[in-house]
Copies of this chain bind each other. A is one copy, B any other.
Amino acid sequence: MPKIVRFYEFGDADVLKLEDQPLVEPSEGEVRLKVEAIGLNRAEVGFRAGRYLELPKTFPSTLGYEASGVIDAIGFGVSGFQIGDRVSTIPAFSMLNYGMYGESAIAPASAVTHYPVTLSPTESTAIWMQYITAYGPLVEYGQVKAGDFVLITAASSSVGYSAIQIAKAAGAVAIATTRSNAKKQMLLDKGADHVIVTNDEDLVSRVMEITNGHGVDLVFDAVAGSFLETLAAAAAPGATIFVYGALDENAATPLPLFAALQKGLKIQGYTLFEITTNPIKLEHAKQYIYRGLESGKLVPILDRTFTLDQIVEAHRYMESNQQNGKITVTVP
């Protein structure tokens, strides 16, 4: 029987239990993966803790958006896959219906894709969530172009590094923020043109210095909260601030109304589901990401790797905010 991660209540990382569960057959339109690796995301931490866009209605609940593995069963009506194919999953489903944390996982075939053979199973769990999350705001909506100034907050996350790479691929100037000095050098090494250490430096004056008083054209923000006022002050007239997360989860987020009126700012909420649940947009995103991986402009940045029986430690590590890049789990 495969081991599956489940939880019976919202809470800290240790609510996650690794349990033997019967092997499930895929239904129509689904495939089953013998999982080789799992990619961890903030979304799953929020889902487990009881603060996410959607929450389980019954317990125990499974969880997880990203796994890679080998297809070992195929449901009715699925085409394009064969038993033995190496694939990874795209977050194009609800965790109320599917969870990827386990030795075996059922996924809708529409959320499963072959990954480039140059990538390892672990690396292939560090593609879809991170690159599509950054692709939507920067490419699909923001149409980032050469010379644009792009401000990326909480830049040392897997999504943050992805945004840096996507901005750079377009010829834009990537300005990364991080709270402490600890991650500054790695951000510079991994492609950020400028790094602002927000605990030590004044963000607005640094941005104005870097942009010669222009401000930033696009903001890609994971933080929200009162920090949004600062981001609005650093924005150029007509800029768009994309908010894709709420790391500052304890604070209300005031709308920076005065700056928004005076500078005609757009503040746009975003989740990757806008892309992944739209077949045409998803196909564009996939082609963009395949090309980027092939050309070497997109390179997944891996942080620590845990094993499945360390899933509690892996979640704790994510919540400690020490990571630099993607946290993954290997499945023996």
Whole-angstrom distance between the alpha carbons of A222 and B224 in the complex?
A: 24
How many chain A residues touch B (Cβ–Cβ < 8 Å)? 27
A244 at the interface (CB under 8 A from B): yes
Segment with Cβ contacts to B, from A66-74, A153-161, A251-259, A324-332: A251-259
Contact of A255 among B224, B264, B271 (CB under 8 A): B224
The reply on A208 being an interface residue by CB < 8 A is no
When the two chains form the complex, which single residue of B53, B260, B263 contacts A267, counting CB atoms closer than 8 Å?
A: B260
Say yes or no: B53 contacts A262, CB within 8 Å. Answer: yes
Give chain B nearest CB distance to A92 CB in angstroms.
Answer: 15
Specify how many copies of this chain sit in the oligomer. 2
In chain A, residues 262-288, which have Cβ atoms closer than 8 Å to a Cβ of chain B? 262-271, 274
Roughly how many angstroms separate A237 CA and B303 CA in the complex, as a whole number?
35
- A261 contacts partner chain B, Cβ-Cβ < 8 Å: yes
Q: A261 touching B274 by the CB < 8 A rule?
A: no
Cβ of A274 to closest chain B Cβ, rounded Å = 5
> Contact at B246–A257, with CB atoms within 8 Å?
yes
| A253-B257, A254-B252, A254-B254 as given contacts; A267 in contact with B264, CB under 8 Å | no
Q: Does A312 contact B (CB under 8 A)?
A: no
Do A267 and B267 touch (CB < 8 A)?
Answer: yes
Contact of A246 with B224 at beta-carbon distance under 8 Å, contacts A253-B255, A254-B253, A254-B254 already known? no
Cα distance A259–B257 in the bound complex, in angstroms: 18
Determine how close the nearest CB of chain B comes to the CB of A52; give it in whole angstroms.
10
Q: Is A243 an interface residue (CB 8 A)?
A: yes
CB distance from A129 to the nearest CB of B (A): 15
Question: Which residues of chain B come closer than 8 Å to A254, judged between CB atoms?
Answer: 252-255
A273 CB to nearest chain B CB (Å): 8
Q: Is the beta-carbon distance between A261 and B228 smaller than 8 angstroms?
A: no
Q: Which of chain B's residues has its CB closest to A225's CB?
A: B257
- B261/A53 in contact, CB under 8 A: yes
CB-defined contacts of A262 to chain B, threshold 8 Å: 53, 269, 271
| CA gap between A262 and B264 in the complex, in Å | 23
Q: CA A238 – CA B257 in complex, angstroms?
A: 20
Q: Which residue of chain B has the shortest Cβ distance to A224 in the bound complex?
A: B257
A263 to B255, CA, bound (A): 17
Expressed in whole angstroms, the Cα–Cα distance for A257 and B243 within the complex equals 8
- Distance between Cα atoms of A253 and B246 in the complex (Å): 17
If A252-B254, A253-B255 are given as contacts, then 5 extra A-B residue pairs at C-beta distance below 8 Å, sorted by A number, are A224-B255, A261-B269, A264-B274, A265-B269, A266-B269
